[in-house]
Amino acid sequence: MAATAERLSVINDELPSKLPDVDPSETQEWVDSLDAVVDHAGRSRASSLILSVLRRARERRVALPSRLGTDYVNTISRAC
């Protein structure tokens, strides 16, 4: 049961905050690379790269967390 609990993700601010990291040094390399892109090419370029990676992940059927909310507000009246 503990192994199953470790695999569950906890979603905060629409991002997974608790996923097992089997290779922290590789993760740090990705984070450092993103920082370098932001510092040298700007946030717009970093956004473009991230969207490309997410698109590719979807094509490769990599499971991604879904958003918990939307930009829409419920406009249906609660009156009965």
- pTM here? 0.60
Answer yes or no: is pLDDT of 68 > 80: no
Q: What residue ranges do the domains of the chain occupy?
A: 37-62
Q: Which 8-state DSSP code applies to residue 40?
A: H
Helix then strand then coil, % of the chain, to nearest 5: 50, 5, 45
User: In whole angstroms, what is the distance from residue 18 CA to residue 11 CA?
Assistant: 8
Question: What is the rounded distance in angstroms from the CA atom of residue 15 to the CA atom of residue 64?
Answer: 10
pLDDT for position 15: 57
- Give residue 20's pLDDT: 81
Instruction: Judge contact between 68 and 14, C-beta under 8 A.
Output: yes
Mean pLDDT taken over the chain:
78
Please state, in angstroms and rounded to a whole number, the distance separating the CA atoms of residues 32 and 40: 12
Chain segment 30-49, per-residue pLDDT in tens: 999 999 999 999 999 999 99
Q: How confident is the model at residue 56 (pLDDT cuts 50, 70, 90)?
A: very high
